[in-house]
Amino acid sequence: MARWITEWHPDDPAFWESSGRRVARRNLVFSIAAEHLGFTVWTLWSIVATRMGAYEFTTDQLFWLVALPNLIGSVLRVPYTFGPARFGGRNFTVVSALLLLVPAVLLGVAVRDPGTPYWLFLVIAALAGVGGGNFASSMANITYFYPRAKQGIALGLNAAGGNVGVSSVQLVMPLVIGSLGLAAAGWFWIPFIVVAAACAWFFMDNLTSARADPREQLAVAGRAQTWIMSFLYIGTFGSFIGYSTAFPLLSHSLFPGSPYAAVAFAGPLLGSLIRPVGGWLADRLGGAPVTLWTFAAMGGGVLLVWAAAGSGRFWLFFLAFQLLFLTSGIGNGSTYRMIPAIFQAKAVAERGAGEQALLHGKRQAAAAIGIISAVGALGGFLINRAFGMAFAAAGTPAPAFLAFALFYLACFLLTWWCYTRRVGVSVVASLAHARV
């Protein structure tokens, strides 16, 4: 029988201290566990693609295998966002976790046959995209559990726990594949997926207050804020997931004899662990200023990586790439903190500061999270395709790096114009008030 909580008032200090904090923390812990495994399955092909030499696929074909899960995962984030509101956060977490078994099992079966055709690998890689959808449902669900003042660190921890799944794949899989063969890349995760689904069933909760009319939630698609933040999230999270999945194959192509497999996990781990710091900084300094200067640093970082890629020195390339992981991780936290702040501020401005206004703001923010995270995740697909096309057309990733630098410049200018520029003596705090 589904477990539903009918009374939930996290913005009431007495309720929060008496019972809310404990329940919210329990749901956050098991949400992180399920989401972590979603990311592992979603990004599994970043390592598998580097171990497919027996199939004689081109570099561009291999980048397609890495890119396709990002594309499907980004599309699935929209319907996944509405899953907790429709079926309950606990119930949807169980189902979304169990769906991870499908691509894991198919991968384990397919790589045992050296005659498996390329199109079938494309299908299996696409199915791995279900892991990418888990992020949107998890984040939308956790939004309801925490008060406004604590959402930055809560969402940061939830996202970071999921993001670390990329690092887990890139740390563990080379060892597992080296010891047990390529098929183990799929079989290895099955018991963990089953345990995560069971824990979600027994230890998580559904909130009746999170239920919402999908038409009401979809109204955020008409808000300018939703699309502005989507563009910015391509620059932060899209960069993180794109670079995380591209780094092993990119290193394999540029530095064939390098120990990239032993250190590929470091960048995603750094970006994941620093993400809550981005949320923490945004709570204290404001999301917009942190995001603004993050894009400036990312623009400089991609130029350093471009230079290092042509230097012939792997360790210089590796160190330069860590700056991109560091800054994209901080930007992930700061941009994600801006989303509930914007939509809850808008709800208060329109409806007053009562509990119903705050709940409306949370529902709007939860829906916006799905759209924004979906569009942002497309960055993972675009980055891998940019590298694939650059190698196919020019034999070098240089054109892709140039495109990334120009994109970060556009993100910097958009953040400044919408959120931090001064008009007279006043700062434009948010387009939620000025131009929605």
Higher-pLDDT residue of 209 and 95 is 95
**Continuous segment of H or E residues that includes residue 357:** helix 355-394
Bridge partners of 110? Answer: none
Residue with tokens 């913005």: 11
Q: Which of 181, 236, 146, 172 is nearest to 36 (CA)?
A: 172
pLDDT 10s digits, 243-253: 999 999 999 99
pLDDT tens-digit series, residues 296-324: 999 999 999 999 999 989 999 999 999 99
What is d(CA 246, CA 70) in angstroms, rounded to the nearest whole number? 11
Query: What average pLDDT does the segment 187-193 reach?
Result: 97
| pLDDT the model gives residue 116 | 92
Cβ burial, residue 79 (10 Å; 0-12/13-18/19+): middle
Tell me the C-alpha distance between 369 and 46, whole Å.
25
pLDDT tens column, 34-43: 999 999 999 9
At 434 the pLDDT is: 31
CB crowding 389-407: b at 16 or more within 10 Å, else e = ebbeeeeebeebbeebbeb
Q: What is the number of alpha carbons within 13 Å of residue 375 lying toward its C-beta?
A: 16
pLDDT for the residue 287: 85
CB distance 11 to 355 below 8 Å: yes
Task: Give the relative orientation of helices 314-351 and 266-285 as an angle to the nearest 10 degrees.
Answer: 30
What Cα–Cα distance (Å) separates residue 87 from each residue in 27, 73, 100, 174, 311? 16, 20, 19, 38, 53
Report the range of poorest mean pLDDT among 152-161, 193-202, 214-223, 226-235: 214-223
The pLDDT value recorded for residue 194 is 97
Token pair 């590796």: residue: 318
How much is the average pLDDT of 189-218? Answer: 87
Taking 90 as the threshold, does the pLDDT of residue 427 lie above it?
Answer: no
Residue 143 has pLDDT above 50, yes or no: yes
CA angle 19, 24, 30 (to 5 degrees): 135
Q: Looking at residue 12, what DSSP letter applies?
A: S
367, pLDDT greater than 90: no
Q: Are strands 422-423 and 4-5 parallel, antiparallel or unpaired?
A: unpaired
Residue that wins the pLDDT comparison between 221 and 431: 221
**Which H or E element spans position 207?**
strand 206-207
Tens digits of residue pLDDT in 253-281? 999 989 999 999 999 999 988 988 888 88
The Cα–Cα gap between 209 and 220 comes to 19
DSSP 257: T
Q: What are phi and psi of 239, to 5 degrees?
A: -65, -45
Alpha carbon 180 to chain centroid distance? 29
Tokens of 137: 């449902």
Cβ atoms of residues 307 and 259 within 8 Å: no
Residue 170's Cβ-count burial label (10 Å; 0-12, 13-18, 19+) is buried
Mean pLDDT: which of 79-93, 177-191, 411-425 is highest? 177-191
- What is the mean pLDDT of the segment spanning 98-119? 94
Please, what is the Cα angle at 40 between 264 and 173, to 5 degrees? 50
Residue 258 corresponds to which amino acid?
A: S
